[in-house]
Amino acid sequence: MRKGVGLVRDGDLTHAQQAEVQRMIDHAERQSGLTFSAYVGPWSGEREGAEELLQRLADPDRSVLVAVDPEGKALEIVTGRLARIPLDDRACGLAALSMTSSFTTGDLMGGLRDGFAVLGEHARRMHVEHIDQP
């Protein structure tokens, strides 16, 4: 896995769906300053396996990985050390809830869209006048 690749594994997504997921990721990254990635497909090791995938990213401390296995009905949102500051368990829980409500109706893309929107919004960068202005 390398930096700049938001969609780590795409499962059976079409090219158009892959591009849409990348747009969702890009938007969340612009809002937050964090690095987001998605993994769509099966992985082994449940939570620990998703945490291992996160550690393989280029900047795991500032990264957020959303791992979804539609067939296995699994969802994990794992955050790196620095990403955990704005994205606490409550924020990730809200994102997971919004995603699973769409997933249960078979709407994978809608769930991803809702989840990345919640995560990006909760991790939104705060504008600090004396730091952000020259």
In this predicted structure, the answer to whether residue 37 has a pLDDT above a threshold of 80 is: yes
Token pair recorded at residue 5: 């690749």
Quick check: 4 pLDDT over 60? no
Find all residues with CB under 8 Å of 93, minimum gap 6, and list them.
Answer: none
How many angstroms from the chain centroid is the CA of residue 51?
13
pLDDT digits (tens, 9 = 90+) for 42-65: 999 999 999 999 999 999 999 999
Residue 2 lies in a domain: no
Average pLDDT of the chain is: 89
Domain count, the chain: 1
Q: Is residue 23 part of a domain?
A: yes
Q: Is residue 115 part of a domain?
A: yes
> pTM of this prediction?
0.87
Domain of residue 111, residue span: 7-132
Q: Establish if 13 belongs to a structural domain.
A: yes
pLDDT band at 127 (very low <50, low <70, confident <90, very high): very low
Q: CATH number, domain at 61?
A: 3.10.310.50
Residue 1, domain member (yes or no)? no
